[in-house]
A and B are shown apart, each in its own frame.
Chain A
Amino acid sequence: MHPLVVNFEADFVLQLLPVEADFTMDQVAEAAAFHSLNRRVKPQSGKTLRVRVQDADVPLGREVTVAQAGLREMETVEVYYE
């Protein structure tokens, strides 16, 4: 288990997200969406969810894994619509 801190666009709270080191960013986004979308945030159709480290200018590649991206445990990532 590799826990991350997720800040999901338009949600109100940071949430604990247990992922695996071999998860791709698309899988991270999907796992994060489970805890926010349709719970407190309306989905936006036709857009892609991206993942970036808090304050980074650009998102991480969609196929990049947690390990490859060098995300530490409890790294804070933002998941947002592009």
Chain B
Amino acid sequence: MALLNRSDWYDIARDTNWTPKYVTEDALFPPQMSDCFDIPREKWAGYDEPYKTTYREYVKVQREKDAGAYSVKAALARMKFFEGADPGWLSILKAHYGAIAVQEYAAGMAEARMARFGKASGMRNMATFGLLDETRHGQIQLYFPHEHVNKDRQFDWAHKAMHTNEWGAIAARHMFADMMNTRDAVSVAIMLTFAFETGFTNMQFLGLAADAAEAGDFTFANLISSIQTDEARHAQIGAPALKILIENGKQEEAQRKVDIAFWRSWRLFTVLTGPMMDYYTPLDKREKSFKEFMEEWIIGQFERNMLDLGLDKPWYWDIFLEELNDTHHGMHMGVWYWRPTVWWNPAAGASSAERDWLEEKYPGWNDTWGQCWDVIAANVAAGREDLLLPQTLPVICNMTNLPIVGRPGKRWKLRDYHLDYKGRRYHFGSEPDRWVFEQEPERYAGHTTLVDRFVAGLVQPPTIEGALQYMNLGQGEIGEDAHGYDWAFDYQNFRKQAV
């Protein structure tokens, strides 16, 4: 018997809606789990997902994707890329897996929420595939780093990181939980899939794949671009949901949620993706700067998506564009200077040739960030290890849980955007971070940053060593300079020749 075409039966088969007789509508779809915008269910019948697939098609394609990624890994295992890889590149792998792999499972739970509580059957259908996608992303990104664990304990953090109180892990959990795991299905659709997955996953999974291919790491390049093909599909859950919200007079509230999620995503990427692209990737393998990738993948595309739907650019757009020049340089310097507190070995990326590249991509870098790296390089040359490591903690933002950074040197610009709420002072790294808090203060007020916990005496002994213990960082795991300070000697020699 010939199979019917998909279009002949898809609309009927996916429509699993019925009218409940034994429970109320609200018991079947509790608003806090389903739709906090309270759009009547019949309006959700108009939800039209742009990407239609069936289970049979899905399984066939996914099987081929997995077979491809695993066979590239198996074929290249004999090439011993790992042994010859630049230490900066290995740091990218460690940071990526630790920050991402376990969060993929959390993303699976977010998809599951849409699959169960979405009132639109099209949303439920797509999110069911999304749940399978995220399960695949979790499994494959735990499996690939696992083969390196016996050579390098830091790779163990692919699984370990999210189960610790390491500061970067707290930051990732706080941000992803806010966007994915503590919202109703409709908010997840617009915050996770539209605001985050549409643009930002391209940065981490396609931009970085370009650098990976340049660096000769075809296993990783293949893996993350394979993942991105799934993201590109299930990221489309959000736009049709936004359309329905706007049609039903919820534009302002929808805009607010998109703005929150976009800002939070941006900030996390300044500490994760920014340093990888502009400092850790070996200079001759860099495809583009972080800022150029942002311009390509985020700015044009996201702006267009927003305007096409009838939304505006976020109110903080000018602040965001200015931050593209600065914030990730500060996050990088913070990670490098406090390197014992991370599970990878930060590459300074400040040799003379790298500094020329940074100055070209970010005019004024030498007068700002370069001023600090001058002092650091001089300390390396003088053997002052005591000045190369911190004796206190950076102050952490009560929204991002990342250090509060600004621009140093000759154009010093750094401030605390603080707020007093119910007798407690909260510190923020930017005006939009404070704004996010003010939108729903009770949602965020109870959380304590690592520094709050330190000040409250929860970290014992109250020293850097005590903080490392609190973060579960043991010997063989704590970060060191990826290149044993080689970059600094190179820069010092360059300076001597120049004099």
Contacts and interface: CB of A to CB of B under 8 A. Distances in A.
Interface string A37-74: 01111100000000000100000000000000000111
30 contacts: A5-B395, A7-B414, A10-B371, A10-B408, A10-B409, A10-B412, A12-B330, A12-B333, A12-B369, A12-B408, A13-B334, A13-B395, A14-B395, A14-B405, A14-B427, A15-B394, A15-B395, A16-B393, A16-B455, A34-B391, A35-B391, A38-B379, A39-B337, A39-B376, A40-B372, A41-B372, A41-B375, A42-B375, A74-B427, A76-B427
A7 B454 CA distance: 19
A74 B369 CA distance: 26
10 tightest A-B CB contacts, nearest first: A12-B408, A14-B395, A40-B372, A76-B416, A14-B404, A16-B393, A13-B394, A10-B412, A5-B395, A12-B330
A5 B427 contact: yes
A11 interface: yes
A12 B329 CA distance: 9
Contacts, number: 95
B390 interface: yes
A41 B333 CA distance: 13
Interface of B: 330, 333-334, 337, 369, 371-372, 374-376, 379, 387-388, 390-395, 403-410, 412, 414-416, 418, 425, 427, 451, 454-455
A20 interface: no
Nearest to B330: A12
A11 B416 contact: no
B375 A13 contact: no
Contacts of A42: 371, 374-375
Nearest to B389: A39
A80 B252 CA distance: 43
B427 A16 contact: no
Contacts of B330: 12-13
Interface of A: 3, 5, 7, 9-18, 34-35, 38-42, 54, 72-74, 76
Contacts of B387: 38-39
Contacts of B337: 13, 39-40
A61 to B, nearest CB: 22
B405 to A, nearest CB: 5
A19 to B, nearest CB: 11
A39 B369 CA distance: 13
Contacts of B392: 15-18, 35
B392 to A, nearest CB: 5
Given A40-B408, A41-B372, A11 B425 contact: no
Contacts of A72: 425
A15 B393 contact: yes
A18 B392 CA distance: 9
Nearest to B387: A39
B375 A11 contact: no
Contacts of A9: 412
A4 to B, nearest CB: 10
Contacts of A18: 392
Given A16-B451, A16-B454, A54 B372 contact: no
A72 B369 CA distance: 31
Contacts of A76: 416, 418, 427
Given A7-B415, A74-B427, A12 B405 contact: yes
Nearest to B369: A12
A15 B394 CA distance: 4
A13 B391 contact: no
Given A72-B425, A74-B425, A74-B427, A13 B416 contact: no
Given A3-B455, A7-B414, A10-B408, A16 B425 contact: no
A74 B219 CA distance: 47
A46 B394 CA distance: 28
A74 to B, nearest CB: 6
Given A14-B404, A14-B405, 6 more contacts: A12-B334, A12-B406, A16-B392, A40-B337, A54-B416, A74-B455
